[in-house]
């Protein structure tokens, strides 16, 4: 899975390549303005947060699909055994849930996978 780029918190930029212009209807603008106000955010910050949440959702959907595929593979007989794969999946999911609970970071899934692999490597070294 490709890493998702970090979303900058800067609201002002002179680089036109870092801007996206969207044409939105009056009703949608009014809705976004109201929702941003409820959260005490500027409209642009609120829209950035929506985009970040969408990226999180996509990454979590992709990861869920990968986990389901791994579980299907685990059910098949394997001459090499599947204990490491099972443990890796468990550690990755646990790491993701911890990160989701504590941060709004678009790199959550990528970082969770990295953390799970590091933890699995440490556990293998102990064995």
Tokens of 60: 């979590």
Q: What's the pTM value of the predicted model, to 2 decimals?
A: 0.50
Residue 1 has a pLDDT of 45
pLDDT for 65: 79
Residue spans of the domains in the chain: they are 25-126
- How far is Cα 9 from Cα 97, in angstroms, rounded to an integer? 24
pLDDT in tens, the chain (127 residues): 445 555 555 555 566 667 888 899 999 999 999 999 999 999 999 998 888 888 777 877 787 777 777 767 766 766 655 567 777 777 777 777 777 766 666 677 777 778 888 888 888 887 6
Q: How far apart are CA 5 and CA 19, in angstroms?
A: 15
How much is the pLDDT for 52? 81
């Amino acid at each position: 899975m490709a890493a998702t780029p970090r979303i900058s918190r800067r609201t002002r930029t002179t680089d036109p390549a870092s801007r996206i212009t969207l044409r939105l209807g009056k009703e949608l603008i009014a809705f976004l303005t109201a929702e941003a106000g409820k959260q005490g955010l500027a409209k642009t910050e609120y829209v950035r947060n929506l985009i970040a949440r969408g990226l999180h959702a996509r990454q979590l959907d992709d990861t869920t699909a990968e986990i389901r595929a791994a579980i299907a593979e685990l059910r098949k007989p394997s001459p090499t055994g599947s204990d490491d794969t099972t443990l890796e999946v468990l550690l990755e999911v646990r790491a993701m849930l911890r990160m989701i609970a504590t941060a709004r970071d678009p790199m959550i899934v990528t970082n969770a996978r990295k953390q799970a692999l590091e933890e699995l490597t440490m556990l293998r070294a102990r064995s």
